[in-house]
Amino acid sequence: MSELTSKTIAELRDGFRAGEFSAREIADSFNAAVEAGRALNAWTVETPELAVAAADAADQARAAHDLKPLSGIPIGIKDLFCTEGVDSTTASNILRGFKPTYESTVSGNLKRAGAGMLGKLNMDEFAMGSSNETSAYGPVISPWRRSDGGNAALTPGGSSGGSAAAIAARMAPGVTGTDTGGSIRQPAAFVGISGIKPTYGRCSRWGIVAFASSLDQAGPMAKDVRDCAILLENMCGFDPKDATSLDIPVPNWEVGLSSDLNGKRVGIPKEYRIDGVPAEINALWDQGIAWLKDAGAEIVEISLPHTKYALPTYYIIAPAEASSNLARYDGVRYGFRDIPQGGNLDAMYAATRDEGFGAEVKRRIMIGTYVLSAGFYDAYFTQAQKVRTLIKRDFAEAFTMCDLILTPTAPSAAFGLGEKMSDPLAMYLNDVFAVPASLAGLPAMSVPGGLDGQGLPLGLHLIGKELDEQTVLNAGLAIEERAGFTHRAEKWW
């Protein structure tokens, strides 16, 4: 039955409907894969019983001819999503043992569409990180290894590192991720899978633990582009409980898939040819340009002049919003509490936050508090907001000349565990291609393009116009068909 775990969501759905296998067989296969993959540390909680219950319901629904879009499909949920009655910790000690009494809108949408839950996925604490090493549960190990023999453990990227590893190691056919500044796209690129961040406001943020509210977006990660389309259309939708949720219809992206790009113009931003990017990444980028041309697209050079300010802007705005959002974890309302002997209320706040938060989260809270403080607010926060507007305008201007933008997803392939942990700036640099689309709220996707000289996956990054996920998905499909990326991590776990 193990070949079931190699199938895409579309193949599982269609095979299940055709009676080739039962939903219970699918769930059993993936539950077994989760158990066999524990060495990767991809999950914070395993919920095999929930996957089985949903599968049994799907088998009954099939018998009763009452199937839903995701009947029979088990998925993994990033631990940033609140799931009713199941630990939701955002990989932080401060939320250890927190069992929400409610379900996030996005995970609820997926479950209402018939999906079962295999478990909660490990991640960087509060989604702050690019390597999954800030997790209170320890790092996720990438299923990939360098081909030069070194057995050094690699990061699957972050913050959705558990999500990425779960797909790449065939422990789940589809997962949720979240992306504030690249956390779906960079890990997808590192492990050779696909992932899309939709337009800001497409997915409700209700019930997703807030990191930086003006940037946070949920999105799917899966083996291929079609699966991303299937998951995304079952995640999105208007939600009156999120004031930034868009009250617009959700397109049927799967039906709209087409790799014919005739009439589409693809912009190549000249400023993205940055120093220090390995030649193989630039070569893959050129290859991507050739693939899109082959699919019928016209290639145009565009300019995004404020791109060079995107990272510093992000690392002011995101920590500012985080410092405010994380003020609620005080030992009173959620999860963990530490009351020092003889201590008063202030001592409880301090001890709880000191014990409960990890180093990166504390760094972000301090940066955020600093840039929001009375003396520095205008110099940092207001200035960053102004630059964010300029970055958005760059995109608006560029999209008068093109329908889509192609760049690499990340400036390197996956790096080794521990390699960048002592240098936060080097870590932050990993998001250099991903962050501009986040600041502008635009849909963006990573699809695998090829392998580097070490045999590690590299991703290509597509940024679309607001609400034009379809063109992003279609271009992703065009690349997928031409790249023929079928490589898999050799099983060692």
- As measured in angstroms, the least distance from the Cβ of 317 to ligand GLN is 10
Which 8-state DSSP code applies to residue 143? S
Nearer residue to ligand GLN within complex by CB, 83 or 430: 430
CA–CA dist 318, 118 (Å, integer) = 31
E-strand spans in 345-490?
404-408, 444-451, 457-464
Of the two residues 47 and 183, which places its CB atom closer to ligand GLN in the complex? 183
With respect to ligand GLN, which residue has the nearer C-beta, 82 or 127?
127
Q: How far apart are CA 174 and CA 239, in angstroms?
A: 23
Q: Give me the catalytic one of 131, 183, 194, 245.
A: 183
Nearer to ligand GLN by C-beta: 402 or 463? 463
Q: Toward ligand GLN, which CB reaches closer, 188 or 398?
A: 188
Residue 208 C-beta: closest distance to ligand GLN, Å: 11
DSSP state, residue 345:
H
Contact 149, 156 (CB under 8 A): no
CB of residue 71 to ligand GLN, shortest distance in Å:
31
By beta carbon distance, the residue nearest ligand GLN is 183
> Rounded to whole angstroms, what are the CA distances from 459 to 165, 449, 450?
15, 5, 7
Cα–Cα distance for residue pair 311/428, rounded to 1 Å: 8
Cβ closest to ligand GLN, residue 133 vs residue 179: 179
Active site residue 159: yes
Residue 290: how many CA atoms within 13 Å on its side-chain side?
9
Distance of CA 123 to the CA centre of its chain: 10
Q: What minimum distance in Å lies between the beta carbon of 348 and ligand GLN? A: 29
Mind giving me the DSSP string for 63-104?
Answer: HTT---TTTT-EEEEETTB-BTTB---TT-GGGTT---SS--
Residue with tokens 């589409």: 264
Which secondary structure element, helix H or strand E, spans residue 107, and what is its range? helix 105-112
SS3 of residue 392 by DSSP: helix
Catalytic hit among 130, 135, 142, 159: 159
Complex with ligand GLN: residue 26 or 318, whichever CB lies closer = 318
CB of 436 to ligand GLN, least distance (A): 13
For the CB of residue 150, give the shortest distance to ligand GLN in the complex, in Å: 25
Least distance CB 67 / ligand GLN (angstroms) = 34
Q: How far is the CB of 316 from ligand GLN (least distance, A)?
A: 12
Work out the number of other CB atoms within 10 angstroms of the CB of residue 255: 10
CA–CA dist 307, 313 (Å, integer): 10
Cβ 99 vs Cβ 182: under 8 Å: no
Nearest to 216 by CA among 110, 321, 65: 321
∠ CA 129-134-139, rounded to 5°: 110
Instruction: Return the HEC string of 258-303.
Output: CCCCCCCEEEEEHHHCCCCCCHHHHHHHHHHHHHHHHCCCEEEEEC
Given the residues 7, 78, 111, 420, the one annotated as active site: 78
**What residues make contact with ligand GLN under the rule CB under 6 A?**
127-130, 159, 179-183, 211, 318, 431
Is 183 noted as a catalytic residue in this protein?
A: yes
Q: Indicate if 438 belongs to the active site.
A: no
Q: Identify which of residues 363 and 482 has a Cβ nearer to ligand GLN in the complex.
A: 363
Supply the residues annotated as catalytic: 78, 159, 183
